[in-house]
Homo-oligomer: A and B are copies of this chain.
């Protein structure tokens, strides 16, 4: 008898993507000290605008409440306070999605829930991810020893893989608007996935972390698709919506209608969370509530518009240069084809050396990214404009 580790951990591939990028930048800076100050980072996956004033005031007010016995909050409900669940419930009615309050679970972020939800499923389940892929979907399943199927994508399908017999899997990850491609499934496409899941008894794990960038008739939530409540769990976050990447709040929707093997997944998730989680800070939940006030919405929309304006600077340039891309219109990510048929790491080097601009090589997100490159809208207007000027001058 001796403690044994979970040997599946040994199968997780080390991600060298961002470490390798950092190393190449350091090497370049050392070799080119005279240009170092001109470096522009367009690979940033984190927001850069501060928290809106309304959110800060909510944080301050809640912090002060915690210092007074009469308004102090100790343990809260593991699944979140009703005041925040009500605000989210109301938000969903805009997309004509009716949720019960207890179908919504507040968490410290979508990444935690996307990983922890797997506690609910058998390790014998097969998993499908679209490629290129947010690495967390893969690593969390490798950790548990599940078999993974990849749905590859390309220019031909607009980086939006559609159901096919060979993609039959028990758990299907969809991210729309997508990280890293920025591509968004329309209603018809998402309906095809929901029907595919219904036909095969699959469960869709729908990552809606970027839904706030969606415009027009594109779906914000998978529950806008009829029948989705029987087959889908949805994850969302305040990170990109309201700049909460360092404040930490998200939510997960597990509909009552989602049942398997005679078990109710909403109840299973409640049980998981009450056993392995103790709820999100009261202060942070009050801040998240403020996001939905009229003043809060106005302020967060200004920030989202700021990032969208950056995205437009990028897509206008690519349009002029007739370079293929996805994203940018309903997403902070722009997934562009590397100019001149370059491979993504070659283009990374070329862009750094000639334009002093950094992005993310598509190969880092999977095989389908070999000739693609991710730019993000999280820089300043000035830097985005300057980066695209240099880009057009060199590759135009």
Contact = CB atoms under 8 A, between A and B. Distances in A.
Interface residues of A, number: 82
Q: Copy number in this complex?
A: 2
Contact of A136 (B47, B49, B59, B275): B275
Contacts of A277: 108, 111-112, 115
A120 interface: yes
A167 to B, nearest CB: 11
B66 A279 contact: no
**Which residue among A9, A115, A243, A261 has the maximum number of chain B CB atoms within 10 Å of its CB?**
A9
Given A203-B3, A283-B59, A276 B170 contact: no
A75 B200 contact: no
A143 interface: yes
A50 B64 contact: no
Contacts of A281: 108, 246-248, 281, 284
Contacts of A63: 56, 59-60, 63, 283
Contacts of A124: 4
Nearest to A111: B278
A194 to B, nearest CB: 14
Given A1-B169, A201-B2, A76 B278 contact: no
Contacts of A55: 67
Interface of A: 1-7, 9-10, 12, 46-53, 55-56, 59-60, 63-64, 66-69, 72-76, 108-109, 111-112, 114-116, 119-126, 136, 139-140, 143, 168-171, 200-203, 243, 245-248, 260-261, 263, 265, 268, 271-272, 275-284
Given A5-B263, A74-B245, 19 more contacts: A2-B170, A4-B122, A5-B122, A7-B122, A12-B275, A51-B66, A51-B72, A53-B67, A55-B67, A60-B60, A60-B63, A111-B276, A114-B276, A115-B275, A116-B276, A245-B278, A248-B281, A281-B284, A283-B283
